[in-house]
Amino acid sequence: MPRDFKIFYNENVPDDIVDHVEMLLRDIYSLSFRIVGVRIPRQDCWDDSKHSFDAKALLRNMGRDSTTFFTWLIDKPLIVNQENVYGYGETLKGSIVTTSKLATKTLIAKEVAFHVGTVLGLKKCSEDCLMSVSENFERLIHKPSILCNMCKMKYQRLKIRYA
């Protein structure tokens, strides 16, 4: 597990949203989360036809800087494989979440927490759990802000394995 998990954001994401995200992440994962600051998305990752950033390309660019164990909040739409998404994450790398389509701090924080779980090694869950997939906005609204008991146990094993 990382010593600290970095939180980046772009200049249009309000501080109160970043603070709310950090608080929920600390509560769920019991790790040290460090708000690093503003990071501007590279324009070569912008898709003019979709008016969105390519989340995989943004993540690849972060990897070129050897940046891992991070989440990045941006205020522009995201796509993965030409499909609109709320966020994207890869295990042991990082995640990117958009605030543009999520109406409240709680919804943003839940989506970030889901993708941070992916980075930390958790898989998608079929139970009533934070790690269940939000295939639509209504599902995201009703999804809990906590891990189910099975995912909590898996996460504890991951923490021990990577400690």
- What confidence category does residue 163 fall into, taking pLDDT thresholds of 50, 70 and 90? low
What is the structure's pLDDT at 63?
86
- C-alpha 21/C-alpha 4 separation (Å) is 15
- Beta-strand relationship, 94-98 and 87-89: antiparallel
pLDDT tens for each residue of 11-37: 999 999 999 999 999 999 999 999 999
Lowest mean pLDDT across 24-28, 85-89, 100-104: 100-104
Is pTM beyond 0.85 here? Answer: yes
- What confidence category does residue 135 fall into, taking pLDDT thresholds of 50, 70 and 90? confident
Domains of the chain: 4-162 (3.40.390.10)
Surface-to-core class of residue 66, CB atoms within 10 Å of its CB (0-12 exposed, 13-18 middle, 19+ buried): exposed
- C-alpha 53/C-alpha 155 separation (Å) is 30
- C-alpha 76/C-alpha 98 separation (Å) is 6
- C-alpha 96/C-alpha 59 separation (Å) is 7
